[in-house]
Structure 1
Amino acid sequence: MMTVSTTSKIAAAFAVLMVLASCSNTIRGMGRDTANAVNATEDAGHTVKKAAQ
């Protein structure tokens, strides 16, 4: 039978795993968002360049 202390440790370990997993997803998402912003800026620059010619 599990004691309250053991159950608390297991619950804390799961909480830490969930936090780490969500941080990883956030960092990846921010990286994709940044890459999309760079691509959009480059596309806008090409559009302006074509319009100026």
Structure 2
Amino acid sequence: MTRLIALLLIAGTAALAACNTVAGAGQDLSKGGNAITNSADKHNAE
């Protein structure tokens, strides 16, 4: 029973860490897209 509880705690921790990693990656991609859009807008304005 102790092993099952330990396994569930480890699995839960890994799942939470993965969610944070995916969310962070999504934010990074969004920021990169915004930078490209801003750069394109500046060049079109010239």
Aligned-pair CA distance for 1:50: 1.9
Q: Which runs of 5+ in 1 are unaligned?
A: 1-5
Please report the TM-score for the alignment, with normalisation by the length of structure 1. Answer: 0.78
CA–CA distance in 1 between the matches of 2:21 and 2:29? 12
Please report the TM-score for the alignment, with normalisation by the length of structure 2. Answer: 0.88
| Bigger Cα Rg | 1
1:27 aligns with 2:27: no
What is the RMSD of the two structures over their aligned residues, measured on CA atoms? Answer: 0.9
How many residue pairs were aligned?
Answer: 46
Q: Which runs of 5+ in 2 are unaligned?
A: none
Structure 1 residue runs of 4 or more that deviate by more than 2 Å after TM superposition: none
